[in-house]
Structure 1
Amino acid sequence: MADELHLLRAADPAPADGPHFGDGPLDHAAERHLDHLLHGPRPGRRTGSRPRLVWGLTAVAVVVATTLAVLLGGSSGAPAVAAPRPLAVRAHSTAVPLAQVAELAAVAATDGSPALRRGTHVQSWSLAMSDDRPPVTLPEERVVRWRADGTHTEVVVATDPDHAGRPVLTDTGRVEDGHVLSRRTFPPMWGDAPPLSTPPHDPAKLRAYLTELIHGDTLTTSELLDATAEVLDNWTLGARESAALAELLADAKGLRPAGQVTDRLGRTGQAYVLDAGTGGRRMLVLDPATGTVLGLETTFTRDDPAYGVRAGDVMDYRAWMR
């Protein structure tokens, strides 16, 4: 296994075999591993880097014919990989109402810990589709860390926790598990508009922040989920921000509590489902004790033979970590 992948996983304070809801700040050992990964020497690193795919409901719906031609065409092409199975709600589990989650999150946020942190740590699975090739799922792990001077570093690794140690498909072909897709340092960046500006922890101000983020006048439930995902791709919310978001989610229309699930990183959470009405279903996974967003999944609700997908196939899934 690649050294970078080992360091990346060592920096994760909430491994799959760890206690549930392990969403505290990085301990000293994890910070040291992460700092070494981001700033330390890189022996044996392959030269060059590729731009990261932009994940999201809109992005994954785009036809990726060129990518699939590289992946599947010719004698050296990799075989198609089926989409992962959707998260399953645990039978007979209790569905916790969002209003109750908001109340618990408000109590948990009383001391303001953990604090908001700029940067993210996210594992994603995204489906690339074409009208003449089978769909393929592209998994990757991304860590973004910011410094006080406004610079930040991004490390993107090809890895799939569902199939640890096996080759992983990327946008340019098959690579070994843990292969570094890109490692980049960006110059200082400042801004007074979302997502560069700091997310507020007041519910009304957070709603305005998310509305501005999507460049809209109102915020539908689907747009609220889109905006939440974009914020979490840039920030790691603190307890107070998570509590404010939980209050917004509790007021959102169409999000129904479904019960308990175990996410793809082994964490237990509560699932809330939104039927998008456009052939897709969205499932938000929360830590019910703190309101922390653990993941967001989009699945197809009907077959689409033109793209080779069936009802229940996962279109996109992101799992956020501290």
Structure 2
Amino acid sequence: MADELDLLRRANPVPCDGPHFGDGPLDHRARRRLERLLDDRRVPPGRTPRSRLLWGLAASAVVLGTVLTALLGGPDGPVAVAAPRPLAVRAGSPPVPLHDLAALAAAAAADGSPALRKGTHVQSWSLAMSDGAPPVTLPEERIVRWRADAGHTELVVATDPRHPGRPVLTDEGGEPRPVADGHVLSRTTYPPSWSDAPPAARPPHTPAALRAYLAETVRTDSLDTAGLLDATRELLDHWTLGARESAALVRLLADVGGLRPAGQVTDRLGRPGQAYVYDARGSRRMLILDPRTGAVLGLETTFTEDVPQYGARAGDVEDYSAWMR
């Protein structure tokens, strides 16, 4: 088998940067490589005869097809849109009003633990869309850690905890392509830096002060529900909130209104949460909060209308973030 694998590697009929991710005809370059591979005259004396070579090629094609099927859903699956389905609210689960959860969060924050920490650990799924190309979901994990000297590091890897060990799509290099689970996309060290402007500045832990902070984060004088959700995402991409900051945020969300309690969900990391939904034209945003502490676990945006120019359909998840400590 070593001879067949060696020949296949050198021929490389389907390179990693090739344009085909599903079933379809090979381009002229790939056909030419396959023809060279199957030409007996190019096999040195004593090497593998054509029958064994064809068997090896077929076996390799099965392996490649298995990988792509696992990655993109198979020839009968949604190859064009590899988007996760929206989180489902557990049937019959009682919705908890935000004001009630705010009271629970305030009680849980009485001892001030856990404390606020600069930096973030977030798992995200985003739908990459462009004219003339099918949308694909790109999952990645980002860890930002700050040092005592005010410098920080950022590690970004391609991984999908829903399917551990399976290949992951990434747009590294400008074209969607599969990479190994845990593939490092970037590892960056930043020098010391300081800022007194949100979201780099330390967030306050009272609702009124936090409202002003978040309004400055998204540069608005009137912080409505949509703006508050945008500002929350920006905040959590810079800070891991402590108990007091989380309690202040839940109180602020309850006071602003616009979020409908929907019931219990299990997020994409397997954590139980309470879901709160905000409906806007063409999309639905679901905020997932810890049912005991009010900490933000996740935020999901789902299309509620088709977007034919980008190949997206109603029910596709446009983006999803899950924050961890």
TM superposition score normalised by structure 2: 0.75
User: Which segments of 5 or more consecutive residues in structure 1 lack a partner in the other structure?
Assistant: 1-67
2:103 matched residue in structure 1: 103
2:274 matched residue in structure 1: 270
SS at structure 1 position matched to 2:142:
strand
Asked whether the equivalents of residues 195 and 213 of structure 1 are also in contact (C-alpha less than 8 Å), the reply is yes
Using the alignment, how far apart are the partners of 2:146 and 2:277 within structure 1? 33
1:250 matched residue in structure 2: 254
2:285 matched residue in structure 1: 282
2:305 paired with 1:302: yes
Asked whether the equivalents of residues 101 and 294 of structure 2 are also in contact (C-alpha less than 8 Å), the reply is yes
2:322 paired with 1:313: no
1:261 matched residue in structure 2: 265
Using the alignment, how far apart are the partners of 1:220 and 1:288 within structure 2? 24
Using the alignment, how far apart are the partners of 1:199 and 1:250 within structure 2? 19
Offset at residue 140 of structure 1 (A): 0.2
Identity of aligned residues (%): 72
1:114 matched residue in structure 2: 114
Offset at residue 288 of structure 1 (A): 2.0
SS at structure 1 position matched to 2:162:
helix
What are the equivalent positions in structure 2 for 1:26-37 lying under 5 Å apart? none
Asked whether the equivalents of residues 102 and 294 of structure 2 are also in contact (C-alpha less than 8 Å), the reply is yes
1:135 matched residue in structure 2: 135
Distance 1:81 1:312, change over 3 A: closer
1:60 matched residue in structure 2: none
Using the alignment, how far apart are the partners of 1:225 and 1:69 within structure 2? 39
Offset at residue 71 of structure 1 (A): 8.0
Which structure carries more helix by proportion?
A: 2
What is the CA RMSD across the aligned residues, in angstroms?
Answer: 2.0
Asked whether the equivalents of residues 144 and 153 of structure 1 are also in contact (C-alpha less than 8 Å), the reply is yes
1:27 matched residue in structure 2: none
2:198 paired with 1:189: no
Asked whether the equivalents of residues 125 and 318 of structure 1 are also in contact (C-alpha less than 8 Å), the reply is yes
Using the alignment, how far apart are the partners of 1:285 and 1:312 within structure 2? 18
Structure with higher RCO (Cα < 8 A, 6+ apart): 1
Using the alignment, how far apart are the partners of 1:282 and 1:71 within structure 2? 33
Distance 1:140 1:70, change over 3 A: farther
Using the alignment, how far apart are the partners of 1:114 and 1:139 within structure 2? 28
Offset at residue 314 of structure 1 (A): 0.1
Using the alignment, how far apart are the partners of 1:211 and 1:271 within structure 2? 24
Work out which of the two has the higher radius of gyration on C-alpha atoms and give 1 or 2: 2
Asked whether the equivalents of residues 195 and 231 of structure 1 are also in contact (C-alpha less than 8 Å), the reply is yes
SS at structure 2 position matched to 1:95:
coil
Offset at residue 70 of structure 1 (A): 6.7
235, 254, 261: which one pairs with 2:239?
235
Using the alignment, how far apart are the partners of 1:302 and 1:71 within structure 2? 28
1:98-149 Cα shifts (integer Å, max 9, x gaps): 0001000000000000000000000000001122211100000011110111
1:264-308 Cα shifts (integer Å, max 9, x gaps): 00000000000022x010000001211100000000001122211
Offset at residue 253 of structure 1 (A): 2.5
SS at structure 1 position matched to 2:309:
coil
Using the alignment, how far apart are the partners of 2:108 and 2:268 within structure 1? 25
Aligned residues: 254
Give every structure 1 segment of 4 or more consecutive aligned residues whose post-TM-superposition deviation is greater than 4 Å: 68-76, 78-81
2:151 matched residue in structure 1: 151
TM superposition score normalised by structure 1: 0.76
Asked whether the equivalents of residues 242 and 292 of structure 1 are also in contact (C-alpha less than 8 Å), the reply is yes
User: Which segments of 5 or more consecutive residues in structure 2 lack a partner in the other structure?
Assistant: 1-16, 31-67, 73-79
Using the alignment, how far apart are the partners of 2:107 and 2:162 within structure 1? 34
Offset at residue 236 of structure 1 (A): 0.1
